[in-house]
Amino acid sequence: MALRSEFLLLAALWGASFLFMRLGAMEFGAWATAGVRVFIASVFLLPILFWRGRWADLRLNLRPILFVGVLNSALPFALYAFAVQSVSTGLAAILNATSPLMGALVAWLWLDERPGRWRALGLLTGFGGVALLSWNKLGVQDHETTWAILACLGATLCYGISASFTRKHLTGVHPLVTATGSQLGASLLLLLPTALAWPAEPPGLKAWLALLAVGVLCTGLAYILFFRQIDRNGPTQAMTVTFLIPLFAILYGAALLGEAVTMRMVAGAIVVLVGVALAVGLWPSGKQKT
């Protein structure tokens, strides 16, 4: 029961991250939003790392972990912060759900993990869902939306590359070490862009609170909950949180930001999530078939 509650809390937190990013990015801008987020997460996670006695592990694997921070936090966080200024938080969350698809595609191309027929069908189905969501939004007359959708997909590609890099170079490293080190690496990378892009007008209290929430709750605390799910249930089961994140994000956006929920969004979300279920081997019969 406790793990189920934590699973729902994790989905709720990651669903809320799109809301908080939007509230922060409207005043901070994309680069500063991402920079402040990873700095806050680093400050939150570092004491836990020391408390768990994992500092030596971080030093031993410092260079690859810092690189993971670039791919898994710095770039995708900035891309999403840019995107949610132009598209709804619900749409951004649905596109984020393609992360396992990108992971499977990158693993196929980089690690030569050839997909079986169900996984291949899942990849095609998932990207078909993306096409359904984006078809009427991409075009020369709507540059901002076009770039926002491409930014979301670019972020998921970063996640996919990061996953394969981690499997190749950081297998066996404790997840807390990777998480904390990656936030430190992201903070270092974003230090200069954050300083250069710092808003001329001082952001208001609401924007600061939004970034505090996304840094502590949606990044620091969410990582800890995710690691517990991996430890207890395994990575495949933990990945199923992907299915609930868009639901929470859409609910938050509709209730708190007045964002519209269209039938195209609902249909596209269903197609994407069916594709993800096939691609990660959760359906049919909870196994990947060849």
pLDDT tens per residue across span 63-108: 999 999 999 899 999 999 999 999 999 889 988 888 877 877 887 7
In the numeric block, which tokens belong to residue 183?
A: 């936030």
pLDDT confidence band for 210 (50 / 70 / 90): very high
The better pLDDT of the pair 290, 202 is held by 202
Which one, of 137, 61, 56, lies nearest residue 92 by Cα? Answer: 137
pLDDT confidence band for 142 (50 / 70 / 90): low
Which one, of 235, 277, 226, 231, lies nearest residue 12 by Cα? Answer: 226
Q: What is the pLDDT of residue 234?
A: 61
| Cβ atoms of residues 66 and 222 within 8 Å | no
Q: What is the pLDDT of residue 284?
A: 67
CA–CA dist 222, 30 (Å, integer): 21
Q: Is the pLDDT of residue 139 over 60?
A: no
Name 239's Cβ contacts closer than 8 Å, sequence gap at least 6: 100, 280
Q: Which helix (H) or strand (E) holds 88?
A: none
Name 143's Cβ contacts closer than 8 Å, sequence gap at least 6: none
Q: Is the pLDDT of residue 4 over 90?
A: no
> How far from the centroid of its chain's Cα atoms is residue 188's Cα?
19
As to burial, measured by CB atoms within 10 angstroms (0-12 exposed, 13-18 middle, 19+ buried), residue 143 is exposed
Q: Is the pLDDT of residue 212 over 80?
A: yes
Q: Euclidean distance between the first and final Cα of the chain, in Å?
A: 34
What percentage of residues in the chain have a pLDDT greater than 90? 46
Mean pLDDT of 154-166: 88
Q: What is the pLDDT of residue 260?
A: 86
- Which residue type sits at 240? T
Which residue do the tokens 């809320």 mark?
16
Q: Which region among 162-171, 189-198, 213-222 has the lowest average model confidence (pLDDT)?
A: 162-171
CA–CA dist 180, 205 (Å, integer): 27
Q: Is the pLDDT of residue 44 over 70?
A: yes
Mean per-residue pLDDT of the chain: 85
CA–CA dist 276, 93 (Å, integer): 14
CA–CA dist 67, 84 (Å, integer): 25
